[in-house]
Amino acid sequence: MLLQHIRDVKDPEHPYSLEELKVITEDAIEVDDKRSYVRVTFTPTVEHCSMATVIGLCLRVKLMRSLPPRFKVDIRVAPGSHASEAAVNKQLNDKERVAAALENPNLVDMVDECLAPSYG
Amino acid sequence: MGESVQWIKHIELYVSSTATPSEQAASVDAVATLLKKGFFTLETLVKEMEMYLTTTDSIVRSRGNLLLAELLDKLASKPLSSSSIHSLVGFFTERLADWKALRGAIVGCLALLRRKVDVGNVTNSDAKAVAESFLQNLQVQSLGQHDRKLSFQLLECLLNHYPGAIGDLGDNLVYGICEAVDGEKDPECLLLVFQIVECLGQIYPDPSGPLANYAEDMFEILGSYFPIHFTHPKGEVDDSKREELSRALMLAFASTPLFEPFSIPLLLEKLSSSLPSAKVESFKYLSYCTAKYGPERMASHAEVLWSSVKEATYISPQCTLTKESELLGGMGFQDSEVMKQSFILLQEVIQQYGDFISLVLGDNDINVFINSLNQYKEMDDIPSLAKQRLHVVGHILSTCAKPSPALCNKVFNSFFPLLMESLGISVEKSFNGYLDEDCSPPAEFNFAAIYLCIELLAACRYVAVSLDSSTPALEFSHQTWSTMLSNSCKSLVKTFFSLLRSMEADQSASSGVYFGVKGLEILATFPESFLPASNSLYENILSEFVRTVTSGSTETFLWTLTLKALTEIGLFANKHPESAKAVIFEKIVVEKFVSLIPSGESAMPSSLKLKAAFEIGGTKKDFMLKVVHALSAAIYTNFSAAYDEGNHESGKVMIQLLDTYTEKVLPWFLKIGGFEEIPLNFALGIWEKIEHTKYLNLSVLEIAMGAGYQDLLGAIMSAIKKSVGSCSNESQEIIINKAFGVLSSSTGFGFESGSSLVKEEDVKQNLNPGDSSCKHEWLTSLFASVIIALRPQTSIPNGKMIIQLFIKSLLNGHVPSAHALGSLVNKLPLEIKGMNCSGNLTLNKALDMITPTFTGISHHDNVSQSNGSGIDFSSLRLNTLRMQSGINTAIGLAWIGKGLLMRGHEKVKDITMALLSLLMLDCEGGDSKELQIIDEEDMHQLRKTAADAFHIILSDSGECLSRAYHATIRPLYKQRFFSTIMPIFLSLVIKSDALLVSPTYTSRSMLYRAFAHVVSDTPVIAVLAESKKIVPILLDCLSVLSKDVANKEIIYNVLLVISGILVEKNGQEAAVENAPIIINLLIDLTTYQHMMAIRETAIQCLVAMTELPYTRIYPLRTKVLQATSKALDDPKRIVRQEAVRCRQSWASIASRTLRF
């Protein structure tokens, strides 16, 4: 069900959705409704993908908009799929840094671009 | 002279290189108009233009030529003398050599060549000269696209209009055309090229003619275009264009048999293409060419054709099971386009070239396949590929057998014995009485063989039917297939029977049932002159089917299928009404089902009985008449049983009978038309029954049936309404007289004549008093249903008494009376013309009678006015009994008001005012002490009824006042009512705002309730026009109404109106002013617990709000986002999804500042 929400998110570099690019799959999503916990593990297309953080940010924003506030969202890069895995994970799950990123108008525009609903 | 200067100016303008295209077009038009009006002649024009036409400046010369050519084009319908045409065409022909001014020359030739005979056209010799000049001077492929197109148009025009003249050119022409078209790539030009080739084929059919010499060259050019494929698709238009081009090319391919040696190999070669579209195209072309080239030429290709068809269908079948496959015995396939086209080719080849069939029949693979079928014992055992092949083989065999009896013979000879053998049946003359012997059926069936067998049977039935219609007296017996079939027919029937019986217990849709029923149906629908399906066999089949249907207790697959087969057989038999089969069908099937209707003994539930009877009756008018008679008889019998003896079982049966009558049988007759006596007799019959039913044991029946009692009454009423409604004026008059007679001879109506009522007096003494009022109400209901369905033109006797009756019973709370009164005021004539009018009622008289009773208040109705004297409602308040009658009055007013409104009568205003005053009662009388006395609950009820009256007035009703019941409906009546009542509501709302004291709360909420009804029942377009004024009130309305859970439906309707307003530009302007209030309200509604649709619509409205100007909504953004986050946790998924959408659109209205 959660996949419904994030499958349409577009890749910042391609006109394709993350699902089409196999960046996210059904198996990589873990939802625990009772404990209000969500974990999304995504696989960047290449190991040095510079956009991994942006993709993660898009996912986070999309989920913030789509899930009730009670949920804690944990977004990770799939183990072994990215060169600087630990750094990316840290960046994505740090509240302060996410908030700071969202203050950056250029980043926010980019995120919104990715989240724009695709018709068809 | 002034004019001549003027047109010369036009010419100069056209010729000059500075003018814009639109100016040039305008000047051509201007000169053409002057020429048409005859201000000057063409000769003058040419003389004036001489300089432009012959100058050495090539630009001016080309423009001059073009002007003259375009003028000629405009003058296509102006008669010209033959000498001027001759000289003009000579001029342009010469000009074709002038490549610098070519366009004008081509356009000019074209314009002249296209002229009709009656206005003077180009002679044959001139046309030939044009063609010669064309061939000599034009290098088409070196021209631009537009010029090429014009050149091809010129060629096509010559070929079409002057085939005789240019035919003499022979080789020259064909060669020239080859040269001109070679290498063309533009689709528009290609279309013309293909048409040109097609024309050539018609001009030179001779196998040793000019085309024959160049056929190979020509086809080399043509063939390179096949299959039509665009390398640079430019959009959607291409698809239709491709179709068009492909069709033109196909016609060109098939235009002459001379192409055969080149085209067929090419097409066959393309069949092996991996592109499915190329295959489809090739098959299509092959079928078309086969039809055009003729059997002699195609004979040499037969083997290759068969192997390619076999490859596309049998070897690698491409068909998928359809969704309905289960219902078609598991063999419902959807063929791919390639397969469809290859079957068409097969059919075409077999029709053209009968010997082809030996290839099919002798095919080793197919024979081996059929022999291999014995290994499958169940349909589901057959693997998918084999199933597809089975389907293909079935299709191939039936295609082969269908075209003629001779082909059918061949197919039967090769396959039928084989199939029969695998079913254990001999095709030799069988022993007598085989069917009747109780020989045990085979334990297992070869389903594949049965399937093929049925396909073959269907094909030979097709042949038999087509033979039967072409040569009526034909003897079938000498045909091989006929002999074979008649020998094995009995055994086949027996096999199908045992197939059916073995599956009878099986509830699901099994293939056995389908094949059994299908096979029997085919055998039963052979034409009568065809011997095998003899009458005794036919009888057997019918009896078996009837037995299956009548022993069914639920609607199983078998049951529906059998019934359908029976109706098919019936339809077939009735094509020849005199035939023995039709007679047998009537005797065995129709009589049986008709006899089933009344009897309650059969195992079948009555709903199935009625359904079967209706379906069978539908095969013929006479049968349906029988069904109707049986049905009415059954209704009458049960009527007596129910109402005389209080038999509740009969009551229940009767509901079903009546439903079948009104829902199915009556509409069937109405659709056919011309059976007016049926509804008339039915309605009269019912009243007859009422008259003769001495003891209307209503209370007994009511107790016995419980809730079903009202259903029964409803069923009778709707049956009466439907049947009266479908009668003409005269019949309606008969019915109403009858009904009135029954009513007046009955007691308790106040208009009995006083005689012959002794008996009924006696009866009355035996009954309890409650029963007589019960009976009174019952009769009034039935009478009301007659009145409701009357046509406006029908005259009503004793109108006054009828109205009084209805008024009286309405005041006792009888709603159908209100419907009847509403219908009456809707349909009564304004005035009656003619002498004999004393007894008839006019609208005004009726209103005079009605108004005092209902709108006694209306004399004091002005809301501004305080309590008056007379029959006002202050007296009503004193006791609850009167309060009840107030409620009844409100209901009555609603229906009467609806009737008046629909015909557009002004009195509706009085009624609305009366309703409003009921609504606002305690606003006026707030000071009255009596307020304390009345029950607040009742008061509330009264106001609520008055408010709901507006819903009645504006909504469409199925009960009465609809088109089916001949209501007078003025167009746009809802809009009209809306625009008159809106100002009143607005002022009332303002007034009630001023009186914001606690006791007025309910009346205020009721005012809003009425308002909500009016707004949501009016078409949105009308509401939009007023949206500025309405939006604030609507919002108040929502906030007031949402306090009570019972209002949820109304809230939902209002919300829909709001969403309608929000998506419309006009409405958005109104919404802008109130944006904060709207959003607050919507936010409240997103958590409305009692109805999901409200939450969903509220969130959708919020999404729509984002379309409003940014500056207005931006401040509300955070609030909306916070509020909708709650909706994300909604228990319903749809709401959650809407909430996500909503948050997404609100979050992104200001992407630079995301704040959560």
Give CA separation, B1034 vs B826, B918, B988, B1081, in Å: 31, 22, 14, 11
Q: What does the pLDDT read at residue B1150?
A: 60
Among the listed ranges B242-251, B431-440, B721-730, which one has the minimum average pLDDT value? Answer: B431-440
DSSP B807-841: HHHHHTT-HHHHHHHHHHHHHS-SS--SS--SSS-
Asked if B619 and B567 count as a contact pair (C-beta separation under 8 A), the reply is yes
Reported as a single tens digit per residue, the pLDDT across B65-97 is: 888 888 888 888 888 888 888 888 888 888 888
| Residue range B125-149: mean pLDDT, rounded | 86
User: Which of the residue ranges B29-43, B317-331, B783-797, B1050-1064 has the most confident prediction, judged by mean pLDDT?
Assistant: B1050-1064
- Answer whether residue B877 shows pLDDT above 50: no
Confidence of residue B866 (pLDDT cuts 50, 70, 90): very low
Contacts of A112 in chain B (CB under 8 A): 1148, 1151
CA distances from residue B1019 to B758, B1015, B1057 in whole angstroms, order as listed: 57, 8, 9
The verdict on B1128 touching A (C-beta cutoff 8 Å) is yes
pLDDT tens by residue, B619-677: 888 888 888 888 888 888 888 887 777 777 778 888 888 888 888 888 888 888 777 78
What is the Cα gyration radius of chain A?
13
pLDDT of residue B599: 66
Cross-chain Cβ contact B1128/A102 below 8 Å = no
Contact A68 B1156 (CB under 8 A): no
| Helix axes of B364-372 and B405-422: crossing angle, nearest 10 degrees | 40
Is residue B526 included in any domain, yes or no? no
pLDDT above 70 for B504: no
pLDDT score, position B882: 61
Looking up tokens 């009924």 gives B760
pLDDT band, residue B921 (cuts 50/70/90): low
Note down the domain range covering B184: 142-255
- Which residues from A are below 8 Å from B when comparing CB atoms? 1, 4-5, 61, 64-70, 102, 105, 108-109, 111-112, 115-117
The answer to whether B1156 contacts chain A (CB < 8 Å) is yes
Handedness of CA B484, B490, B493, B498 (dihedral sign): negative
- If pLDDT is split at 50, 70 and 90, which confidence band does B437 have? very low
pLDDT at B810: 82
CA–CA dist B1119, B204 (Å, integer): 83
Indicate the number of domains in chain B: 6
Buried b (16+ CB within 10 A) or exposed e, A27-61: ebbeeeeeeeebebbbbbbeeebebbbbbbbbbbb
Do B179 and B56 belong together in one domain?
Answer: no
Taking residues B127-132, report their average pLDDT: 87
Residue contact B1129–A68, C-beta within 8 A: yes
List, as one string, the DSSP characters of B32-45: HHHHHHTSS-HHHH
A45 to chain B, minimum CA–CA distance in Å?
A: 26
B1133 contact residues in A (CB cutoff 8 A): 1
- Nearest CA-CA distance, residue A83 and chain B, Å: 30
Residue B319 reports pLDDT greater than 70: yes
Put simply, the answer to whether B1143 touches A66 (Cβ < 8 Å) is yes
Pick the last residue of a domain from B976, B1004, B1032.
B1004
For B415, the token pair is 């396959």
Q: Is residue B323 part of a domain?
A: no
Cβ–Cβ below 8 Å for A66 and B1128: yes
Q: Is B440 among the domain residues?
A: no
Of residues B748 and B346, which shows the higher confidence score?
B346
Closest CB from A66, A109, A117 relative to B1151: A109
* Residue B232 main-chain phi, psi, to 5 deg: -120, 80
Half-sphere exposure (Cβ direction) of B597: Cα atoms closer than 13 Å: 34
In the predicted structure, residue B1151 carries a pLDDT above the cut 60: no
pLDDT for the residue B507: 57
Give mean pLDDT, residues B560-585: 81
Nearest CB among A67, A68, A112 relative to B1151 is that of: A112
When mean pLDDT is compared across B112-121, B535-544, B927-936, the lowest value belongs to B927-936
Whether residues B779 and B631 fall in one domain: yes
- Are B1040 and B1005 a contacting pair, CB within 8 Å? yes
- B1140, B1148, B1153 member nearest A66 (Cβ): B1140
* Mutant choice from A6, A7, A65 vs B, greatest count of B C-beta within 10 A: A65
CA proximity to B887, closest of B952, B955, B988, B810: B810
**Rounded distance between C-alpha atoms, residue B869 and residue B1016, angstroms:** 36
CB distance B1152–A5 less than 8 Å?
no
Question: Looking at residues B453-469, what average pLDDT do you find?
Answer: 81
Over residues B982-1007, the pLDDT tens digits come to: 888 888 888 777 665 544 556 778 88
Last residue of a domain, one of B592, B619, B646: B619
Say whether both B7 and B116 belong to one domain. Answer: yes
Distance of CA B527 to the CA centre of its chain: 34
Q: Residue B1154: which of A66, A108, A117 has the nearest Cβ?
A: A108
**Closest by Cβ to B1151, choosing from A5, A69, A108:** A108
The confidence score (pLDDT) of residue B924 equals: 45
> In chain B, what residues touch A9 (CB-CB under 8 Å)?
none
CB contact under 8 A, B1128 and A117: no
Q: By percentage, how much of chain B surpasses pLDDT 70? A: 85
Q: Which among B1143, B1144, B1154 is the nearest to A102, CB-wise?
A: B1154
Two tokens, residue B594: 């008709």
A116 vs B741, higher pLDDT? B741
Chain B residue whose CA is closest to A110: B1151
CATH fold for domain A2-115: GMP Synthetase; Chain A, domain 3 (3.30.300)
Q: Are residues B550 and B682 in the same domain?
A: no
Tell me if chain A has a CB within 8 Å of the CB of B1144: yes
- pLDDT of B751 over the 70 cut: no
What's the 3-state SS for B1063-1114? HCHHHHHHHHHCHHHHHHHHHHHCCCCCCHHHHHHHHHHHHHHCCCCHHHHH
Confidence bin at B6 (pLDDT 50/70/90):
confident
Helices B237-253, B187-203: inter-axial angle, 10-degree rounding: 20
Span B595-620, mean pLDDT?
Answer: 77
In a shared domain, residues B914 and B839:
yes
The angle that helices B145-161 and B102-113 make with each other, rounded to 10 degrees, is: 30
Q: How many CB pairs under 8 A join A and B?
A: 37
Task: Check whether the bond before B227 is cis (ω within 30° of 0).
Answer: yes
Query: For residue B1151, which residues of chain A lie inside 8 Å, CB to CB?
Result: 108-109, 111-112
Q: Residue B890 domain-assigned?
A: yes
Q: What is the pLDDT of residue B925?
A: 44
Rg from Cα positions in chain B: 42
Q: How far apart are CA B112 and CA B75, in angstroms?
A: 10
Q: Is residue B471 pLDDT above 80, yes or no?
A: no
Confidence of residue B189 (pLDDT cuts 50, 70, 90): confident
CB B461 within 8 A of CB B404: no
Shared domain check, B949 and B867: yes
Whether the predicted pLDDT of B432 surpasses 50: no
- B954 and B851 in a single domain? The answer is yes
**Closest approach of B1155 to chain A, Cα-based (Å):** 8
Portion of chain B with pLDDT greater than 90, in percent: 0
Is residue B566 located within the same domain as residue B636? Answer: no
**Among B381, B380, B379, B551, CA closest to B454:** B379
Considering only CB atoms, B1148 lies closest to which of A1, A69, A112, namely A112
- B1149 in A contact zone (CB under 8 Å): no
Q: For residue B748, is pLDDT > 80?
A: no
The pLDDT of residue B839 is 54
- Considering only the beta carbons, identify the residue of A5, A102, A112 that sits closest to B1140: A5
Q: Does position B958 have pLDDT exceeding 50, yes or no?
A: yes
**Whether residue B941 is found in the same domain as residue B995:** yes
Is residue B274 scored above 70 in pLDDT? yes
pLDDT of residue A13: 66
The pLDDT of residue B252 is above 80: yes
Say if CB B911 and CB B856 are below 8 A apart. Answer: no
| B872, pLDDT greater than 50 | no
pLDDT band at B428 (very low <50, low <70, confident <90, very high): low
Residue ranges covered by each domain of chain A: 2-115
Choosing from B619, B642, B672, the residue where a domain stops is B619
Is residue B1077 in a domain? yes
Best residue of B1124, B1137, B1148 to probe chain A, by most A CBs closer than 10 Å:
B1148
**Interchain pair A112, B1125: CB under 8 A:** no
Q: What is the mean pLDDT of residues B779-783?
A: 86
Same domain, B832 and B781: no
Q: What DSSP character marks residue A10? A: B
Nearest-10 crossing angle of helices B936-954, B880-903 = 10
Note the pLDDT of residue B1045: 80
- Same domain? For B1068 and B1083 the reply is yes
Instruction: Please check whether residue B1131 touches A, CB under 8 A.
Output: no
- Average pLDDT on B525-529 reads 74
pLDDT on residue B169: 80
Within 8 A of B1135 by CB-CB distance, chain A residues are: none
In-domain check, residue B833: yes
pLDDT of B511 above 80 = no
Residue ranges, chain A, pLDDT below 70: 1-15, 117-120
B787 and B653 belong to one structural domain: yes
Tens-place pLDDT, residues B530-554: 655 577 788 888 888 888 887 777 7
Average pLDDT over residues B898-926: 75
Q: What is the pLDDT of residue A4?
A: 63
- Do β-strands B333-335 and A37-42 pair in parallel, antiparallel, or remain unpaired? unpaired
Contact (CB<8Å) B1154/A61: yes
- In A, minimum Cα distance to B1153 occurs at A103
Q: Output the pLDDT for position B832.
A: 62
For residue B750, is pLDDT > 60? no
Is any Cβ of chain A less than 8 angstroms from the Cβ of B13?
A: no
If one counts every other C-beta atom within 10 angstroms of the C-beta of residue B551, the result is 12
